[in-house]
Amino acid sequence: MRGSRDVRRPATLASLAAELGVSRTTVSNAYNRPDQLSAPLRARVLEAARRLGYPGPDPVARSLRTRRAGAVGLLLTEALSYAFRDPAATGFLEGLALACERAGSGLLLVPVSPELADVTAVHQAGVDGFVVYSVREDDPHFKAVLERPVPTVVCDQPLHVEGVDRVGIDDRAAMLDLARHLTGLGHRHIGVLCMRLGTGRYDGPADDARQNGATYPVQRNRLGGLRDGFAEAGIDWAGIPVHERFAHSVDAGQAAAAELLAAHPEITAIACTSDILALGALRHAAERGLAVPEDLTITGFDGVPEGLRSGLTTVRQPVLEKGRAAGELLLERGDRNRPRTVVLPTELIVGTTSAVPRSPERWFSGW
Amino acid sequence: MRGSRDVRRPATLASLAAELGVSRTTVSNAYNRPDQLSAPLRARVLEAARRLGYPGPDPVARSLRTRRAGAVGLLLTEALSYAFRDPAATGFLEGLALACERAGSGLLLVPVSPELADVTAVHQAGVDGFVVYSVREDDPHFKAVLERPVPTVVCDQPLHVEGVDRVGIDDRAAMLDLARHLTGLGHRHIGVLCMRLGTGRYDGPADDARQNGATYPVQRNRLGGLRDGFAEAGIDWAGIPVHERFAHSVDAGQAAAAELLAAHPEITAIACTSDILALGALRHAAERGLAVPEDLTITGFDGVPEGLRSGLTTVRQPVLEKGRAAGELLLERGDRNRPRTVVLPTELIVGTTSAVPRSPERWFSGW
DNA sequence: CGGCGCAACGGTAACGGTTCAGACGCGGGG
DNA sequence: CCCCGCGTCTGAACCGTTACCGTTGCGCCG
C-alpha cells in the first residue's frame, strides 16, 4: 500500500541517520539493541524508517560485519531437486531442517550439477557451515567445501578428514546382518542390485574392478557387508552377480532386476542396496508373475515408508535422526572439543519379501 | 592435508595482494576475470593462495559489493521441516529446485515459527528474491518479505500486491467441478473436511463466521467452490457440516472424519480439501468397517502420489509445475514487463472412492 | 622519432553495517 | 565544590570485496 516498493534510491542506515540528524550507530542500535537508546528516540527512528521505506539493516552487510550468515549450507551430489524426490534424502533433510529451525538458522540448498565440476556454487554460498550428504569421496564440490574456512559435518562418509565431524551408520555391519538373514534362510544363489559406484554414467554388471574402485563409501560398505556375510556361509563373492544403476529410481531398479534375472536365472534372492531399487525389483517380479517371497526373495536397505508399507525385508536406518544429528553437530558447537563422530543404530526388519527358497535349494546344514 | 584448516588469521584478498606485491584488483581478477591478467601472474596468485590457505573471495563480501546473493528465499507458513513432510509441498519444492538449479541459484529455506511472530529470520535472509508458498494473507512474515526490496513471487495467493508476481491454480473452479461430480452422483448429505482456516490452534466444526474469516485463500476458495457447486444442485450450504483441522496430517484427517461422522451419521460423502485429509478419512472408514465407495464416498484435492495410488477421487494440480513456474518468474526476469500471474490447469480425477450413494438417498431428479 | 592504441595493472571509493572506546551532560554522594 | 557513575549518543575503524577509472609500458605505424 505504502509506496515502499518503488523507491528509486533505496534508503540505507546512513541515509536514515542523516535524515534524522543522528549517528549511524544510533540507528543500528534502534534495531539491534533497543536498550542502548531512549524509547522516544527509538520510536522516532522506526517511524522515519517506515516513512522512508527503509527495510531494516541489510542482511548481507550485517553478515559481512558479524561474520555470521545465519544459514547452513547443504551439499549433495545429486541435482538439487533430488533432495525432494528421494524418500531417504527427504527424511534426512526433515531432520536437518528440524535442527536448523531450532537454532533459528536457515538452510541453503547449494545448487550443484552432478556431472559438471563447477564449484562456483560452493564458493558463492554465504553460510556458517556445511552439511555434506553422501557424496563421492573425490567429489570436487566436497573438496571445495573443505577448503572453505567453515565447520563441516559429513554424513555417510567414513573417510576421516581433519576437523570434520561425521554422522552415519555402520553400513557394513547392518548389511552383514541382512546377509546372514539371507544365508540363514538357505539362499545360495543371490544377486545384488546396487546404486551408482563411481564417476560416469554406467548401467550394468559391476565387475570386481568397478566394485573395488567404488568412490561412494556407502555403497562400498554395503557391498562389503554382503561379501562378509556370504563368506561366513561359504559363498564365494566372485560368484555373486552385482548389477549397478546410475539413476536411483524405482524404474532403474525394475530394469536392473530384469537384467539380473535374465543373466542369472538360478537366483533365488535379490539383495538391493536401497529400498528404492528393491521396490523396482518387486515391480519387476509382479510384472513377470514371480511370487515374492515364494519364487524370489527381495531385500532392500533404508527403511523408507513406502518400502515398509510393502512389507519389504530391509534395514531400517534412522534417516531423520541422522539429519538432526548432523544439524546439531554443526550448530551446537558450544563444546568445542575435537571433531566427533556419531554412529546411529540400525535395525533389521524382516518383512514379507524374504523366505526360505524353493525346495531344490534347501541344502543348508542347520537343524 | 595441508594445514589450511587451522590458520590463525585467515588470509584475505588484501593480505594475498600484499604478500605478492600486487593490487587487490589483480587478485580479484585472478579469480573472476582470468582474461584480465597474464597467465603467469594468475598462476602466481593462485599458487600463493594455496600456500597461504586463502579460500578464494569471501562470498558474503562479494554479495555485498555486487548486490547479488545467488540464492532465492523460500517462505512457508509451516515449520521448515514441513517442507519435507507434505507431499504437495515436496512437489512444489522439487519444481522450484529445478528452476533454481537451472539458473545456478541456491535455495534458502527461511526458518519460521508458525506461531511466533518473529520475523528476524526474514530480515536475516541474504537472498535475491522470495518465493512465498501458501501463507495466510495477514502473515507477519509475508508482510516482512514485502518490505524487503527484492522481487517476490507468491503461490496460491489471489490477493494482488503491487509488484508481486503470482502463480497458482483456480481452486474455486476446480472444487466446483468436484462438487458437481458429487451432486451428479446423487449425494445430498455431504460433509466437508478442511485444513486450517485462520490464526490459532483450532480443531473442530467451522461455523460460518470462521469460514468467512478464513485467511488462507486456498482453503477459502476451495470451500467456496464446494458451496457454489452444491448451490447449483439446490443444496443449502448452511446445512453442510464443515470440520477444520489445524494439523495437516493423515492422523488429523482420520480424527476429523470420525468426529464428522459421529456428529452427522446421515452423511454419504466426505469432501476433503486435501488428499492428506482424505487419506485419513479413508483410514477411518477402513477402521470402522465402512466400505468405500459403497457406504461412503470420499474425495480429496491435490493429486499427491499416495492418493492416486489409493484410487482417490480428487483434483490433480500440477504442483511441480507450480514450483517451477514460481522459480522461473522470479529468476528469469529478462523481460521486465509488469507483474504477471500464472494460472495452471487442474484435472478432475475420478477414482474408485466415489460412487452413487446407497438407495435411500437416490432421489435425485436425473434420468 | 613521436603519437597512438591496446593490454595489463593499480588506486580509490564505495557496498551497508557493527562495534568499541569514548564524549557529553546530569544528578548525587563525599 | 569536586568527582564519579550512569544513561545516551557519537566517531571512527573495520568486515572483504568489486566497480570504476586512471596509469603504465609496449609495440607499431607513419
Residue-range domain boundaries for chain B = 3-66, 71-168+320-344, 171-317+348-361
Looking at the domain that runs over B71-168+320-344, which CATH code has it been given? 3.40.50.2300
Confidence of residue B363 (pLDDT cuts 50, 70, 90): very low
Residues of B from 22 to 61 whose C-beta is within 7 A of strand D: which are they?
A: 24-25, 28, 31-32, 56-58, 61
In this prediction, residue A118 carries a pLDDT of 82
Of 1.10.490.20, 1.10.260.40, 3.30.2010.10, 3.40.640.10, which CATH number belongs to A3-53? 1.10.260.40
Q: Which of B225, B193, B189 is nearest to B206 (CA)?
A: B193
Q: Is the CB of A65 under 7 A from strand D?
A: yes
Instruction: State the smallest CA–CA distance between residue B238 and chain A in angstroms.
Output: 36
Contact with chain A for residue B280, Cβ under 8 A: no
Is the CB of residue B101 less than 8 Å away from at least one CB of chain A? yes
Determine the straight-line distance between the first and last CA of chain B, rounded to whole angstroms.
Answer: 82
Cell 531417504 maps to which residue?
A: A88
Select from A64, A71, A163 the Cβ nearest to the Cβ of B5: A163
In sequence order, the β-bridge partners of residue A130 are A73, A152
CA of B38 to C1' of D26 (A): 15
State residue B74's pLDDT score. Answer: 96
b/e per residue, B338-348, with b = 16+ CB within 10 A? eeeebeeebeb
- pLDDT score for B296: 98
- By Cβ distance, the residue of B56, B60, B147 closest to A63 is B60
Please name the member of A81, A97, A120 whose beta carbon is closest to the beta carbon of B98: A81
Q: Is A74 on the interface with B (CB under 8 A)?
A: no
Q: Which of B56, B60, B98 sits opposite A60 (nearest CB)?
A: B60
Fold of the domain built from segment(s) A171-317+348-361: Rossmann fold (3.40.50)
Task: Find all residues with CB under 8 Å of B262, minimum gap 6, and list them.
Answer: none
pLDDT per position as a tens digit, B81-117: 788 888 999 999 999 999 998 998 999 999 887 666 6
Q: Which of B31, B54, B64, B164 best probes binding to A when mutated, by most A CB atoms within 10 angstroms?
A: B64
Residue in chain A nearest B164 by alpha carbon? A5
**Bridge partners (DSSP) listed for residue A126:** none
- Chains A & B: contacts with CB separation below 8 Å: 162
User: Å from A265 (CA) to C13 (C1')?
Assistant: 75
What pLDDT, in 10s, does the model give residues A231-241? 999 999 999 99
Parts of chain A with a pLDDT under 50:
1-7, 361-367
Shortest CB distance from A94 goes to which of B85, B110, B146?
Answer: B85
- How far is it, in rounded angstroms, from Cα B314 to Cα B298? 9
Q: Does A204 touch chain B (CB under 8 A)?
A: no
Distance from CA of A129 to the nearest CA of B (A): 13
Q: Which helix (H) or strand (E) holds B223?
A: helix B217-232
Window 57-86 of chain B: CB closer than 7 A to strand D: 57-58, 61-62, 64-66
Q: How far is the CA of B117 from the C1' of C14 (A)?
A: 36
Inter-chain CB proximity B60 and A69 less than 8 Å: yes
Q: Which residues 287-316 of A interface with strand D at a CB distance below 7 A? A: none
Mutate to test the interface with B, among A28, A147, A150, A283 (most CBs of B within 10 A): A147
List bases in chain D with any atom under 7 Å of a protein Cβ.
7-20
pLDDT of residue A193: 98
Q: Are the beta carbons of A326 and A155 closer than 8 angstroms?
A: yes
Domain range A71-169+320-345, CATH architecture: 3-Layer(aba) Sandwich (3.40)
Contact B341, B153 (CB under 8 A): no
Q: B152: which DSSP letter?
A: E
Longest dimension (CA), chain B: 93
Given this chain, do its domains B71-168+320-344 and B171-317+348-361 carry the same CATH topology?
yes
Contacts of B120 in chain A (CB under 8 A): 104
User: What is the pLDDT, as a whole number, of residue B293?
Assistant: 96
Calpha distance A28→B217 (Å, rounded): 37
Is A115 at the interface with chain B, CB within 8 A? no
* Chain B closest-CA separation from residue A47 CA (Å): 14
Do residue A60 and residue B126 have CB atoms under 8 angstroms apart? Answer: yes
Name the residue closest to D18, CA to C1'. Answer: B65
- Look at residue A240 in the predicted model and tell me its pLDDT: 97
Nearest to B305 by CA among B95, B90, B133: B90
Whether residue B205 has pLDDT greater than 80: yes
Tell me which protein residue sits closest to nucleotide C10, measuring alpha carbon to C1': B23
Tell me which of A84, A161, A283, A328 to substitute to probe the interface with B (most B C-beta atoms closer than 10 Å): A84
Residue B230: which residues within 8 A CB-CB, separation 6 or more? B179, B183, B190, B236, B237, B240
Chain mean pLDDT for chain B: 89
- Nearest CB to B111 within list A104, A125, A147: A104
CA dist A34 → A29, A42, B124 (Å): 6, 7, 18
Mean pLDDT for the stretch of residues B289-305: 97
Domain at B3-66: CATH architecture: Orthogonal Bundle (1.10)
> Which chain B residues have a beta carbon less than 8 Å from that of A79?
97-98, 101
Percentage of the residues of chain B whose pLDDT score is greater than 70: 92
